[in-house]
């Protein structure tokens, strides 16, 4: 069955975590030895102790954030932003061996041996493609292209639309941008709360606008 419209999300995916806190490193072996020596009942006390350390670290880190909005946003990007975006994109990939974000398929029949599989390959994406432009965090994506031929399967492709070979051209770049915008929506909202006026913009490589 051919799908003529596209929902701008992939089924079976959970939105990525959008908050990253500095972590206090505790030697794992020492931690395990302490649990064994003190008994399982000490687990709650050790958890509270560790949570207190993490909270103190977060408070110290927040106190050092610049007050200037652009400098504050740059600090977020340098410390956390690139990692958050990278992990969000990884969660969208088709599979580990084929790290693709799929836009659609095209061909005479869905999942036949000759169908074209369209989208972006995350191996074409670099961390440097996340940058700050004034009060905007810009995520630049590679141009969508034919990634391969043949059938695809699995939970993450249930909502990948299929078009016949003679269908009007489909905007694969817009589809991929919509998927990434959905995955990063919580990040964008969080940025707006933490840095008034800050936005997150997803672009296709070479595009001049947001």
pLDDT in tens, 3-21: 444 333 443 344 444 444 4
What pTM was estimated for this model as a whole? Answer: 0.69
Query: pLDDT value at position 27?
Result: 52
* Percent of all residues in the chain with a pLDDT value above 70, rounded to a whole number: 68
Domain contains 6:
no
Q: Which domain holds residue 52?
A: 28-204
Residue indicated by tokens 């994406």: 125
Contact 168, 2 (CB under 8 A): no
Q: Is the pLDDT of residue 146 over 60?
A: yes
pLDDT in tens, 84-99: 999 999 999 999 899 9
DSSP string, 8-62: SS-TT-PPPP----------HHHHHHHHHHH-GGGHHHHHHHHHHHHHHHHHHHH
Number of domains in the chain: 1
Domain contains 17:
no
């Amino acid at each position: 069955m051919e799908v003529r419209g596209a929902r701008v999300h992939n089924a079976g995916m959970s939105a990525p975590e959008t908050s990253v806190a500095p972590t206090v490193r505790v030697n794992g072996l020492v931690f395990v030895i302490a649990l064994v020596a003190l008994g399982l009942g000490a687990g709650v006390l050790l958890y509270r102790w560790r949570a207190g350390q993490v909270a103190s670290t977060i408070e110290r880190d927040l106190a050092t954030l610049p007050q200037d909005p652009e400098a504050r946003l740059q600090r977020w990007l340098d410390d956390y932003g690139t990692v958050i975006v990278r992990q969000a994109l990884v969660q969208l990939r088709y599979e580990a061996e084929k790290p693709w974000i799929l836009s659609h398929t095209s061909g005479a029949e869905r999942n036949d041996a000759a169908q074209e599989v369209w989208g972006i390959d995350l191996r074409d994406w670099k961390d440097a493609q996340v940058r700050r432009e004034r009060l905007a965090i810009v995520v630049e994506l590679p141009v969508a292209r034919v990634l391969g031929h043949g059938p695809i399967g699995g939970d993450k492709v249930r909502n990948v639309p299929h078009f016949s070979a003679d269908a009007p051209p489909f905007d694969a770049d817009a589809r991929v941008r919509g998927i990434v915008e959905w995955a990063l929506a919580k990040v964008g909202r969080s940025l707006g709360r933490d840095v008034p006026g800050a936005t997150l913009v997803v672009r296709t490589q070479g595009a001049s606008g947001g």
